Structure 1
Amino acid sequence: MAKLNDPNAFLRSLFDVAVAAADPMACVPAALGARPSGRVVVLGAGKASARMAEALEDAWGPQEGFVITRYGYARPCKGIEIVEAAHPVPDQAGVEATARLLDIARGLGADDTCIMLISGGGSALLCAPADGLSLDDKQKLAADMLASGMPIGDINGIRKELSAVKGGRLAAAVHPAKLVCLMISDVPGDDPGDIASGPTVGHAGDADLAARTLANWNVTPPPAIEAFLRAGGAPVAADDPRLAGVENHIIAAPAQSLAAAARMAEDHGVEVRLLGDDLEGEARDLAAAQAAQAIAVAQERLPHAVVLLSGGECTVTRRGDGIGGPNAEFTLAAAVALRGHPNIYVLACDTDGVDGAAEVAGAVAGPDTLALAEAMGISAEAQLNENNAHGFFERIGAQVVPGPTLTNVNDFRAILVMP
């Protein structure tokens, strides 16, 4: 474990501890209990779902089942079939896998038990366009919403209106079997209806609201989607009798990972100031605000180090043509705001190991970041304006690339103020 005299490595250790706290191999067995009698079928979707399936089989032995995860996130399971599809924009493999999953769900009987494994990423991986909509429609809308800066809660609300599997529809398909859903939360507030767009949670439906939300964020939907929203869908409400008795359990969440990082920091004599586990907003704006907080802490001239910890989900409004996700953009914007402050170090990473669409978790920055870039002829401000944070940190060698972490409790941010 890194020592405090290497601030960048110490921040990376905090991130690693946060990820480990959400490892399905630890949290799934603790939530399972005894295996139900009779036929048990495991279904699931999300970036952590294959690891969740692996953990379940580690506890119960080989099981019957079918789980969809992101490319590169599969795990070796003994009985549960694992398939991979695209994220964050869905693809044909996801459509075909979701059709198979729905067929299995609809084939369950009243004496069967379905264990559902759901984690962040399930919104893209569970892709079943509602009648009259195409994969092309869903792909274009998904890409445009992600580029608009729209909050994830609004994105998921729109997804529910356009899906044959989200917003409680998967739970309805499982009926009359007993359904127990284990969830790893990646959404601010940990609302089960927002995790993977709530495939096992009823949704009242509001097509008019979805259309207004798209307009408010200047997103023009494809004509078929616009017409579908005008006509309205067929929601599965929370009081639908097919959802009676469904059990939804959140087994890991951002707060637990922040708490684990906080314990490690305190063990090293670092004062912890928690800023919240559900922060949202434009990445560069949140970075500027937290940089200002860090500077204020430095001005306290404390004899010990202080770390500001936060979680949640930032967004990026695409302004340029660069490559950058919200965590890398947060780090770059913080570095620009800090202007080489000699005592402050920053890390922002996504706990799933993927920041935006790049196979990079995020980045670290410190007092020498801007000077190093300037010596290489790189303007941090220009790169920020182009949304090219990943390109910036790749060139100066400050990316955090853990590979697939096999879990997902959203963004992890730590700003270390040294004495």
Structure 2
Amino acid sequence: MKKIKNYEQLTSHGDVLSRKIVLDITEQTLKKLDSYERIKSIMHLDGDMLHIGTKTWDLSKKKNVYLLGAGKACNHMAMAVDEVLGNRLTKGIAIVKIKEETDRFQNTDVYVGGHPLPNQAGYEACLKILDLVDQAGPDDLFIVVISGGSSALMSCPREGITLEDEIKTTDIMLKSGAGIYEVNAIRRHISALNGGMLAKRIESVGAELIGFGISDAVGTPATGDIGIPYKKYASTPMGPDKTTLEDARRVIREFDVADKLPKNVVDYLMNVGPEGETPKAFPNNTYFLLNTLPDSCIYAKEIAEAMGIPAIILSSFLEGESKDAGTFFASIARESQAYGNPVQPPCVILSSGETTTKILDNKLITGHGGPGQELTLSFAIAAQKTKGACMLSIDSEGTDGTTPVAGGICDSTSYTNAVSKKIDVHAALRGHACYEALSEMEDAVFTGNTGTNLCDFNVLYIPETNE
């Protein structure tokens, strides 16, 4: 089954050869990153013995085995664990962003939470998770699967803070221009589950925790052997939290949001004592890190070179304003085609990270969009002078921003195509309505759940030119 569901539509127009190269690299990369296959490659059950990589557990010594999960790749992660354990699984609870018709579970209840903003269904699922943990004991085992997006999907505010407060806080911070570390510093410290609080709760009842994680944090090193337990795991809610209360307070001051955030949230963060700090270590837990953000570029480079196309990784630390990144990549394409810098075409330039879109006023919004779509539509404007250049930017989990698509793809002919269809690309960017524009241009990339979550994945192909 193809990861890119509308491949034929995307290759029906524009510079078809360039588009096929970019899409084929993306297709193969997403397949290699799928967490279902990653977990199944290291986990199996042999009688009472559960084998995960280099470690083994005797389930005959466990009273109950529970599965908990949340995140944008949770469907595939939870399905793999549910399938391996079968009837050995006492109960599972998974909170996903999108429930697919192809999802198959035996002993796991699935809830559709909210992302990027929390919702009531996710909150109610969290209450069930808390009840499940609180009734557990030292003879129980929790297998927890977490990927990016869990902060919103596993939304359960601390006492004194309402779900509405948490929703408003998330919305304000995501539009503030703050990076994901700053956003998390706030929302982890107002949560009963995030910021490592789920792991702390499991630890408090004496149960054992095995965690499978996908890290979408910018700066996390590439994975090695995923079957070897990862000693430096730091990803919430099942692991230690790197952000601090002082970080949260600094973010409130630096981004000048004290008067915008709910009063309950500001009062709590500014006045709570050390008891409000999140846990910083869980030495007795066992963690397996399935993928990290640099992996997408590393795999894509291998795939491009196997296709006979030279490839370089420009950066796996890409951050900043999305539309500015699109203009930047177009300038790189032009430089490469004109002067052979930083690499001689034909070539592929890869990058990953997490660009953001600052929205100063909700009244400016005229449609829907996301960072990947803003990047590619901006690229389309600036790439007109670089014949055959083609850029794809997607959120690797399959949904970009507030839309049902993964992102967009544009080439050097896309702007002209938009003009011929009377689509105002500049107005779409100003109004953060790139989804509507790219959909009409037939340049929105649709994948559905991909089974991974490594933030943004960007592929730029630059062909030779005889001019």
Common fold by TM > 0.5: yes
**Partner deviation per Cα, 1:81-125 (whole Å, 9 max, x = no partner):** 222211110011111100111221222211222111001111111
Does residue 315 (structure 1) correspond to residue 340 (structure 2)? The answer is no
Which of residues 392, 395, 415 in structure 2 aligns to 1:370? 415
Partners of 2:427 and 2:39 lie apart in 1 by 44
Question: What residue is the counterpart of 2:113 in the other structure?
Answer: 85
Shift of 1:189: 2.2
Q: Is the 8 A contact 1:324 1:387 kept in 2?
A: yes
* SS of residue in 1 equivalent to 2:83: helix
Equivalent residue letter for 2:23: R
Q: Is the 8 A contact 1:287 1:331 kept in 2?
A: yes
**Partner deviation per Cα, 1:120-149 (whole Å, 9 max, x = no partner):** 111111111011100111111111111222
Residues 236 and 206 (structure 1), Cα distance of their counterparts in 2 relative to 1, 3 Å cut: closer
Question: What residue is the counterpart of 1:151 in the other structure?
Answer: 179
Does residue 345 (structure 1) correspond to residue 390 (structure 2)? The answer is yes
* Identical counterparts, % of pairs: 27
Does residue 102 (structure 1) correspond to residue 130 (structure 2)? The answer is yes
Partners of 1:135 and 1:22 lie apart in 2 by 33
More deviation in 392-401 or 254-263?
254-263
Unaligned stretches of 5+ in structure 2?
A: 51-56, 222-231
Question: What residue is the counterpart of 1:56 in the other structure?
Answer: 81
Question: What residue is the counterpart of 1:28 in the other structure?
Answer: 39
Partners of 1:315 and 1:5 lie apart in 2 by 29
Partners of 2:147 and 2:208 lie apart in 1 by 20
More deviation in 359-368 or 272-281?
272-281
Does residue 399 (structure 1) correspond to residue 426 (structure 2)? The answer is no
**Partner deviation per Cα, 1:51-75 (whole Å, 9 max, x = no partner):** 1121123333342222111132582
Shift of 1:186: 2.0
Equivalent residue letter for 2:82: E
* SS of residue in 2 equivalent to 1:279: strand
Q: TM-score, normalised by structure 1?
A: 0.92
Equivalent residue letter for 1:188: V
Q: Is the 8 A contact 1:279 1:313 kept in 2?
A: yes
Residues 204 and 281 (structure 1), Cα distance of their counterparts in 2 relative to 1, 3 Å cut: closer
Aligned residues: CA RMSD: 2.3
Tell me the matched-pair count. 414
Partners of 2:371 and 2:233 lie apart in 1 by 23
Equivalent residue letter for 2:114: A
Residues 203 and 409 (structure 1), Cα distance of their counterparts in 2 relative to 1, 3 Å cut: closer
Which of residues 17, 25, 29 in structure 2 aligns to 1:14? 25
Partners of 1:231 and 1:20 lie apart in 2 by 47
Which of residues 186, 191, 201 in structure 2 aligns to 1:173? 201
Residues 48 and 268 (structure 1), Cα distance of their counterparts in 2 relative to 1, 3 Å cut: same
Shift of 1:208: 4.1
* SS of residue in 2 equivalent to 1:98: helix
Shift of 1:303: 7.4
Equivalent residue letter for 1:237: P
**Partner deviation per Cα, 1:165-203 (whole Å, 9 max, x = no partner):** 1112101111211111110122212398774xx112234
* SS of residue in 1 equivalent to 2:339: coil
Question: What residue is the counterpart of 1:68 in the other structure?
Answer: 95
Shift of 1:346: 0.7
Does residue 46 (structure 1) correspond to residue 71 (structure 2)? The answer is yes
Equivalent residue letter for 2:171: A
Q: Is the 8 A contact 2:245 2:277 kept in 1?
A: no
**Partner deviation per Cα, 1:11-60 (whole Å, 9 max, x = no partner):** 12222222112212211123436513223211111121221121123333
Shift of 1:411: 1.0
Does residue 223 (structure 1) correspond to residue 234 (structure 2)? The answer is no
Question: What residue is the counterpart of 1:140 in the other structure?
Answer: 168
More deviation in 22-31 or 169-178?
22-31
Q: TM-score, normalised by structure 2?
A: 0.83
Does residue 190 (structure 1) correspond to residue 190 (structure 2)? The answer is no
Does residue 284 (structure 1) correspond to residue 329 (structure 2)? The answer is no
More deviation in 357-366 or 331-340?
331-340
Equivalent residue letter for 1:127: S
Equivalent residue letter for 1:288: T
Q: Is the 8 A contact 1:298 1:343 kept in 2?
A: no
Shift of 1:209: 3.0
Question: What residue is the counterpart of 1:210 in the other structure?
Answer: 248
Equivalent residue letter for 1:323: H
Which of residues 405, 409, 412 in structure 1 aligns to 2:454? 409
